Structure 1
Amino acid sequence: MSISDLKKKIKQNKLDPLYLLTGTEAFLIDELQKMIIEQALPEEEREFGLAYYDLNETPVQAAVEDAETLPFLGEKRVIIVKNPLFLTAARDKSKVEHDLDSLQRYAENPSPFTILIIEAPYEKLDERKKLVKSIKKAGAFVKAEALQESHLGDWLQQRAKENGVTFDQEGEERLVQLTGSHLMLLQQEIDKMALYVGEGGVVNAEVVDLLVARTLENDIFALIDRIVRKDLDKAFRILYDLLKINEEPIKILSLIGRQFRIIYQVSELSKRGYGQKQMASTLKLHPYAVKIAQQQTRSFHEEKLRFIIDQIAESDYEMKTGRMDKKLILELLVTKIKNT
């Protein structure tokens, strides 16, 4: 079942007795859990009607026994079990002895007054195991994976809409550039910017730059972007800001080199007919990083990219041998790249 389909069912109060939530995107798993709890239990019933079990510390049979116990208050109970490593092929190194037969029996006949949520934050489950098959068959199964770039923009705009604001295209791209596809971080930043622009406001790239915490990698990315745009004034402003906060020139140079190597690799793979997803997989990069590098390749012919990479290597040698002032080396390099 897809996450969107499961959300629709939950909103319609069509709750299943058993949920298996797996995958590595913790934000989506937490979000689904909260939706289920809010639908199943009024707030005043959650103190007695909601229970958590960490299977690294507690045997699964204790959770099963609790799930089979009638609610103390209200009509429903929600039991959440975490870290069921026994559903994977990995070896469980904990000393907890789990009676998996008890969970197997429960999956075959779940309690009508309990909603059991099994949180399995793993990339893969062991599909060969009878228990995995039984749990998937008995309830709602969903895998929460990192969103693809094509879906990330829709997700971001929907979150913005829920906060009463919108993102323009540059603002959306800038936010993803600075935060990546980490949904928890994206949500926090959207909430912050929504408060800043107010109801009905528009978040643009300037707002993103003003409010989102920056990293060295982000600033190097912005530096190269300004060089590509032939905006030398802003490029030097970014460079001097980095030096002012005592970032090591050799580290700045290293990251500049890394980004231009990525641009060159993307250029070469594009010629071979690779798509963005293939390039992202081959280079072990986020698809958005590949997309931006692909755009930047349009500003540099292959010979120019090779010249720039050679200049970066020469600057690295000069910096490490102390032939010239490090700041001056970076200034000259930025100017050479801009003039290629």
Structure 2
Amino acid sequence: MTFEEIVTHLKQGNYAQVYFLTGEEPWYADYITDYIAKNALKEDEKPFNQTILYGRDVDAVDLVHSARRYPMMAPKQVIIVKEAQNIKKFDPLESYLNAPAPTTILVINYRDKFDKRKKVWKALNKKEFVKLETKKLYDNQVGPWISKYLKSIGLAIEPKANQMLVDHLGNKLTNVVKALDKLKVAVGTDVKTITPKHIEDYIGISKDFNMFELQNAIVKGEVVKANQIARVFGQNPKEYPIQMTIGVLFSFFSKLLLYIATKDKSQQNIASKLGIPPFFVKDYQMASRRFNWNKSRHVVSLLREYDMKSKGFNNNSATPGDLLQELVFKIMH
């Protein structure tokens, strides 16, 4: 069952006996856990029938005992285990999964990959149970995810604003959602589309000095602007880590090589091949006029070299700011 299917069932009031939520991206598990904690029971039922445990404080035997209790003056009880990855032995849970209490909703929030070789994982294969395994989003999936989430809360977003968020927030959905929810509150009910100005005002990302603008300046050959942005980045290394900047540029120029090598350069095909929104295909069209195959390969090589230097290899004294300005100069000349 997918995350969306699970949420649909929950909103319809259809609760499973057991939820086992695991994987690399904890936001999905946290969303489901919080929804159940808020909605599965009435407020007056919760004091005696909703128990929140933490993996570091409980073992599987205690958990089974709690799950087998009867609810008090309510049709169901809810047992939630947060940070369940800290439970040392899960084997005793197998007996419970083979004969679960029909009056218990058990939620196990395991913030890591679970060992699928364990018998517990196999015991979860019942229609009465829900298990969800999540993966971190790839970088090219974050932008569409942001658009989809904002649409779900009644907002659209301009492509440049979206890219600013992707470059700044990365692929940890907990951070992304916090920023998007903050935007929703900050812009008020009259605003329907998020712009770069909103990002600058409420998230604190400059619409003029960000990774998207640095990449854009390099592609357009705007030497003065690119050097200016690189200098600002160098003066604020915590806000603009050089490894993150190099990562963004590496991703762009790697895709540019793929663009150049692709024969069918229709917008739809390139968007599919590169894993980008169609709006950004024009950026690669423009970049290919300035950076041919050999120049793009050289840039990728430079990015690898300076990534190593930023980590201390063959670099005894240069600061991250010095390295970035030097890198930008070499890319553009």
**Per the shorter chain, which TM-score range?**
0.7 to 0.9
Per the TM alignment, residue 329 of structure 1 is displaced from its structure 2 partner at its CA by 9.7
State whether residues 257 and 309 of structure 1, in contact with CA within 8 Å, keep that contact through their aligned partners in structure 2. Answer: no
Q: How far apart in 2 are the matches of 1:119 and 1:257?
A: 35
Which of 93, 97, 100 is the equivalent residue of 1:110?
A: 100
Name the CA shift for 1:136/1:83 in 2 (closer, same or farther; >3 Å): farther
Match of 2:312 in 1: none
Q: How far apart in 2 are the matches of 1:156 and 1:256?
A: 20
Please state whether the residue corresponding to 1:170 is helix, strand or coil. helix
State whether residues 164 and 199 of structure 1, in contact with CA within 8 Å, keep that contact through their aligned partners in structure 2. Answer: no
Structure 2 runs not aligned, ≥5 long: 263-268, 310-314
Name the CA shift for 1:224/1:161 in 2 (closer, same or farther; >3 Å): closer
Match of 1:204 in 2: 195
Answering whether residue 230 of structure 2 is matched by residue 239 of structure 1, we say yes
Match of 1:284 in 2: none
Q: How far apart in 2 are the matches of 1:83 and 1:196?
A: 32
Match of 1:224 in 2: 215
Q: How far apart in 1 are the matches of 2:121 and 2:300?
A: 51
Match of 1:134 in 2: 123
State whether residues 22 and 121 of structure 1, in contact with CA within 8 Å, keep that contact through their aligned partners in structure 2. Answer: yes
Matches within 5 A, 1:98-177: 100-101=91-92, 103-127=93-117, 129-137=118-126, 138-147=128-137, 152-177=142-167
Q: How far apart in 2 are the matches of 1:244 and 1:99?
A: 49
Per the TM alignment, residue 15 of structure 1 is displaced from its structure 2 partner at its CA by 0.8
Task: Judge which range, 68-77 or 260-269, deviates more.
Answer: 260-269
Name the CA shift for 1:141/1:276 in 2 (closer, same or farther; >3 Å): farther
Match of 2:15 in 1: 15
How high is the TM-score relative to the length of structure 1?
0.71
Name the CA shift for 1:13/1:232 in 2 (closer, same or farther; >3 Å): same
Q: How far apart in 1 are the matches of 2:147 and 2:115?
A: 32
Match of 2:81 in 1: 81
Name the CA shift for 1:84/1:65 in 2 (closer, same or farther; >3 Å): same
Q: How far apart in 1 are the matches of 2:316 and 2:101?
A: 72
State whether residues 20 and 136 of structure 1, in contact with CA within 8 Å, keep that contact through their aligned partners in structure 2. Answer: no
* The structure with more radius of gyration: 1
Per the TM alignment, residue 9 of structure 1 is displaced from its structure 2 partner at its CA by 0.8
Per the TM alignment, residue 139 of structure 1 is displaced from its structure 2 partner at its CA by 0.9
Match of 1:89 in 2: none
Per the TM alignment, residue 219 of structure 1 is displaced from its structure 2 partner at its CA by 4.1
Please state whether the residue corresponding to 2:291 is helix, strand or coil. coil
Name the CA shift for 1:50/1:305 in 2 (closer, same or farther; >3 Å): same
Per the TM alignment, residue 11 of structure 1 is displaced from its structure 2 partner at its CA by 0.7
State whether residues 147 and 181 of structure 1, in contact with CA within 8 Å, keep that contact through their aligned partners in structure 2. Answer: yes
Q: How far apart in 2 are the matches of 1:327 and 1:65?
A: 58
Aligned length: 308
Name the CA shift for 1:39/1:185 in 2 (closer, same or farther; >3 Å): same
Which deviations, in whole Å up to 9, do the C-alpha atoms of 1:202-241 show, x marking residues without a partner? 21123223433559xx945632322212334533432343
Match of 2:265 in 1: none
Matches within 5 A, 1:269-308: 295=284, 298=288, 299-305=290-296
Please state whether the residue corresponding to 1:141 is helix, strand or coil. strand
Which deviations, in whole Å up to 9, do the C-alpha atoms of 1:303-334 show, x marking residues without a partner? 334666798989x9xxx799xxx999987875
Name the CA shift for 1:65/1:226 in 2 (closer, same or farther; >3 Å): same
Answering whether residue 26 of structure 2 is matched by residue 26 of structure 1, we say yes
Q: How far apart in 2 are the matches of 1:332 and 1:131?
A: 54
Per the TM alignment, residue 121 of structure 1 is displaced from its structure 2 partner at its CA by 2.6
Q: How far apart in 1 are the matches of 2:160 and 2:170?
A: 15
Per the TM alignment, residue 4 of structure 1 is displaced from its structure 2 partner at its CA by 0.9
Which deviations, in whole Å up to 9, do the C-alpha atoms of 1:117-171 show, x marking residues without a partner? 12223324324x3332112325112222234567644542343245443212222
Per the TM alignment, residue 36 of structure 1 is displaced from its structure 2 partner at its CA by 1.9
Name the CA shift for 1:32/1:233 in 2 (closer, same or farther; >3 Å): same
State whether residues 20 and 120 of structure 1, in contact with CA within 8 Å, keep that contact through their aligned partners in structure 2. Answer: yes
| AA aligned opposite 1:157 | S
Q: How far apart in 2 are the matches of 1:58 and 1:169?
A: 47
